[in-house]
Amino acid sequence: MQAVCKKRVTAIVLLAIAPIVQTLAIAILNSLLVSFLAYTLMVCVGTTVLVAILLWGKPDTSSRAAMLGVSPVKKDQLVLGLLIGFAIDAIMVLGFWLFYKVFSDAEAVRAVAGRLGIRGGIYLWIAVSGLVVNAVAEEFFWRGCPHALLGLVPDGNGKKLFGPLQHGALARVLIVSLFFGMNHVGIMLTIAPSLPAALLSLLGIFLSGAFWSLLRESTKSLIPSLVSHVLVTLGYSGLLVFYFSIA
């Protein structure tokens, strides 16, 4: 029981620290690029490695991998991740076009981004690196470690498209999704052209995180949510490119 409590407390602490680090990095470093790299490498990658090494004794490699969600998936589970990713992208694009004139100011976004170190073609590099590195790192940090620490057991139910949810699954989904949304508050309040745009974006981020956590709980694997996250990152990267390309 003491070990279980220790894991749960550790999960909550890690989830709470991430938004603080992300927000402070943006405020202190005054560079979106540097803070992005610091968050990805130090928080997401570093924490995942430490958790895998320190908190589960010395299980064999396959056991540790399964606890983090690195386990085989069925084709239909992978397709489900793809479909959810495309659906979120479609909603993002639709929302962008519906509310662009009301909520967005491309010139203001470019000005803020410039003050944060994004000038010239650097935003494209950020989009690509976010697609390749950040989506993967975030999935391990947000869906890999905390779900396992909070009680998800890799019991083999992932062989089904929708495996039965384990005890506490909805609580884990809610907790992780709330902190995942909070993690984006600092950057959205900084880069969003208006408060309504920031709030809409944060709502979308929370719901996306909830879908990914449900995928993690249902399939017992990180792969479907990772694939979905990569597609969504590609979608908002495209929107950022559009922001900077319009006159």
Name every residue whose Cβ is closer than 8 Å to that of residue 80 and which is 6 or more positions away in sequence.
161, 215, 224
29-61 residue pLDDT tens: 776 667 777 888 888 888 888 777 765 555 555
In this predicted model, what pLDDT tens digit does every residue of 156-196 receive, in sequence order?
544 454 556 677 788 899 999 999 999 988 888 877 777 88
**Could you give the CA distance from residue 129 to residue 37 in angstroms, rounded to a whole number?**
9
State the Cα–Cα distance between residues 124 and 234, nearest whole angstrom: 11
CB count within 10 Å of CB 52 equals 19
Q: Are 35 and 25 in contact (CB under 8 A)?
A: yes
Looking at every residue in the chain, the average pLDDT score rounds to 78
Residue 211: what pLDDT?
93
Structure tokens at 238: 């495209």
- pTM equals 0.84
Token pair listed for 161: 């498209």
Give 125-173 as a DSSP string: HHHHHIIIIIHHHHIIIIIIHHHHHTT----SGGGSTTPPPPTTHHHHH
pLDDT score of 104? 62
The yes-or-no verdict on residue 135 having pLDDT over 70 is yes
Residue 100 and residue 110: Cα distance in Å, rounded?
15
* Inter-residue contact 67 to 213 (CB < 8 Å): no
Both tokens assigned to 4: 């279980």
Whole-number Å distance between alpha carbons of 88 and 204: 9
pLDDT of residue 224: 92
Digit-coded pLDDT (tens) for 67-107:
778 877 888 888 999 999 999 999 888 877 776 555 566 67
* Cα gap 217→162, rounded to integer Å: 9
Q: Does residue 133 carry a pLDDT above 70?
A: yes
